[in-house]
Amino acid sequence: MASKDSSFDIVSQVDLMEVENAVNQTAKEISQRFDLKGTDTEITRNNDDITISAEDDFKLRNVVDILQTKLTKRSISLKALDYGKVESSLGGKVKQVIKVKQGIDKDEAKIITTKIKESKIKVQASIQGDSVRVSGKNRDDLQAVIQMLKTADLPMNLSFTNYR
């Protein structure tokens, strides 16, 4: 009887190849823009971390803006970014590490499952590692949950996968 249930997973995944492309485009723009060209400003990516270092706060903000534009153009949600604090480094330079969040942590999963329960849609939501599985008898209910979560202003980047 349970085999008649439909389900999908809510995940928070970011295409790291697209992040790499955005970082590379940002680095290229830094080397070409008159206000950043020749300055000691750089952007690098190491796994899930993007590091920006610049001569001052203003240049750092400019690079963050460029990066955000490049990511948005590549359909990467800015909600997937976790901005570290701006740190001063040697020679008056500033540095910021931006973490690319992958997966849904326990607190975020609780927010999602609570939202689903509050919606009174007849589905079950269960936390499974770094994702949330939603199952129900009616496909329309599952679609309603997806729509509700898309319009809810949640603090994380969500994708819906494994729709069965």
Q: What are the tens digits of pLDDT across the range 72-124?
A: 999 999 999 999 999 998 788 999 999 999 999 899 999 999 999 999 999 99
User: What's the confidence (pLDDT) of residue 91?
Assistant: 80
Percent with pLDDT over 70 in the chain: 98
Pick the CATH number of 16-100 from 2.40.50.140, 3.30.70.990, 3.30.70.1400, 3.40.190.10: 3.30.70.990
| pLDDT at position 1 | 38
**Band of residue 126 on the pLDDT scale cut at 50, 70, 90:** very high
- Cβ-based neighbour number of residue 151 at 10 Å: 8
2 pLDDT higher than 60:
no
Out of 3.30.365.10, 3.30.310.50, 3.30.70.860, 3.40.50.720, which CATH number does the structure's domain 2-13+104-161 have? 3.30.70.860
pTM: 0.82
- What whole-number distance in Å separates Cα of residue 129 and Cα of residue 70? 31
